[in-house]
Amino acid sequence: MSEVVLPALGESVTEGTVTRWLKKVGDTVAVDEPLVEVSTDKVDTEIPSPFAGVVQQILVQEDETVAVGAVLAIVGDGAAAPAPVAEVPAPVAAAPAEPAPVVAPPVVAAPVVTPPVVAAPAAPVVAAPVVSAPVAPAVVSTPAPVVAEPAESDPNYVTPIVRKLANDMGVNLANIAGTGVGGRIRKEDVLAAGSRPTAPVISAPVASAPAPLVASPLRGTTEPMSRLRKVLAERAVASMQQTAQLTTVVEVDVTRIASLRKRVQGEFVQKTGVKLNFMPFFTLAAAEALAAHPKINSSVDGDSIVYHPTENISFAVDTERGLLTPVIRSAGSLNIAQIAQQIADLADRTRNNQLKPDELSGGTFTLTNTGSRGALFDTPVVFLPQSAILGTGIVTKRPAVVTDAEGNESIAIRSLVYLALSYDHRTIDGADASRFLTDVKARLEAGAFEANLGI
């Protein structure tokens, strides 16, 4: 028989809560095979079995909290001892009782919410407006004298005959360049314009109706907070109570980075195995700026400010259990490929409960990609002991004023993003935040990351 104990899951972790057993009594388990899921105040993780054998006993039930070192289960050789079965005396001179019918619980199918079949209203057929020719005025018996057209005439003047012809043919006079004297529009100009094929009318794309929202099964229910949710709630409240937080926002033009991504995406995926998105660029630009602005990469310790020697950047990962922030250590020393690979690996293991507790600690600054769900920007909360967090909004194409090398301005379609820096005003002033964001903005807008790609 071998005892499986709750291992130390980090320097400051003293206890854990069993959230789910992955094996039951009588199951065979191999060495390093996941045996049980445990939640701590830092991480939800799977505990592998240190022994091979059969699960003989489970000593800690789900939702029970125990200290590090407590025995969770017993694993041994051979089959688990069967549960004692009460001996049923043989019936005396009576027909054997019919076994009670096994009534299976009714299978209640989840209500299939069938969206009402609403026939999409046919787009109304809008016939081109039929412009009836204006009724010509009654002919006056005495015709107006015919005045010869002068050689010098107003080019904006259009004779009634030409105007009526244009009206009958549906020709817009404003779109015609006249060939008459002084640029006057003639009958021949209207006829020529009416014989040219009209430009096709491009209708606006019809937006498809979104799928109807299905009501969540959580409506009208109550559930206890998970250990992780409790810890997040306590830390968020403590951080807001103990610090003075505010947020500064800048808009950044990342068109050059968008072009670089498009140009190298295929090669990048082939050589690194991961896609190249905007997050590695934001991470590297932030790490470089943190080295130049140590106040943003600091912590408060009593009456002292600790300026960290490395840029350990936490990044937020949305999981079913809540928000977790694994750490990319010494991010400023990495290239884009290394950062992209670490983000992909850490995020995947975070969502699959395979993260080591130490991979969640030691962060000095946080990045949160609030744009991953379509938000323009938000005001993220700084979690102690860090002093700042940078939120990156969604990258969208919008018209913007651009200036060329000669100082000429024009409007162009650009890829733009909002960066929102929340910070602890006890040690970081608005000017400090603005200087940091200005440097991040300049680095990203220059888009000169070819030497940092690492491929």
Residue 308 designated active-site: no
- Residue spans of the domains in the chain: they are 2-76, 160-195, 242-452
d(CA 420, CA 443): 16
CA distances from 134 to 160, 163, 183, 188, 342 (A): 12, 11, 26, 21, 74
pLDDT at 244: 95
pLDDT at 140: 41
Angle at 413 between CA 409 and CA 415, to 5 degrees: 115
Environment class of residue 227 by beta-carbon count within 10 Å: exposed (0-12), middle (13-18) or buried (19+)?
A: buried
Gap between the terminal Cα atoms of the chain = 52
pLDDT at 401: 94
Active-site residue identified among 301, 429, 432, 439: 429
Domains 2-76 and 160-195 fall in the same CATH topology? no
d(CA 80, CA 71): 18
CATH fold of 2-76 reads: OB fold (Dihydrolipoamide Acetyltransferase, E2P) (2.40.50)
pTM summary value:
0.64
Residue 425 designated active-site: yes
d(CA 124, CA 147): 49
One-letter amino acid for residue 359 of the chain: E
Helix axes 279-292, 336-351, angle to 10 degrees: 110
pLDDT at 112: 40
**Would you state the structure tokens that stand for residue 81, as one six-digit string?**
């001892």
- From 79, 70, 75, 71, select the one nearest 26 (Cα to Cα): 79
The superfamily (CATH) of domain 160-195 is E3-binding domain (4.10.320.10)
pLDDT at 23: 94
pLDDT at 102: 43
- The CATH classification number of 242-452 equals 3.30.559.10
d(CA 126, CA 124): 6
Residues of the chain with pLDDT under 50: 83-150, 152-153
Model confidence over 45-82: pLDDT tens digits?
Answer: 888 899 999 999 999 999 899 998 999 999 998 665 55
Active-site residue identified among 308, 318, 425, 439: 425
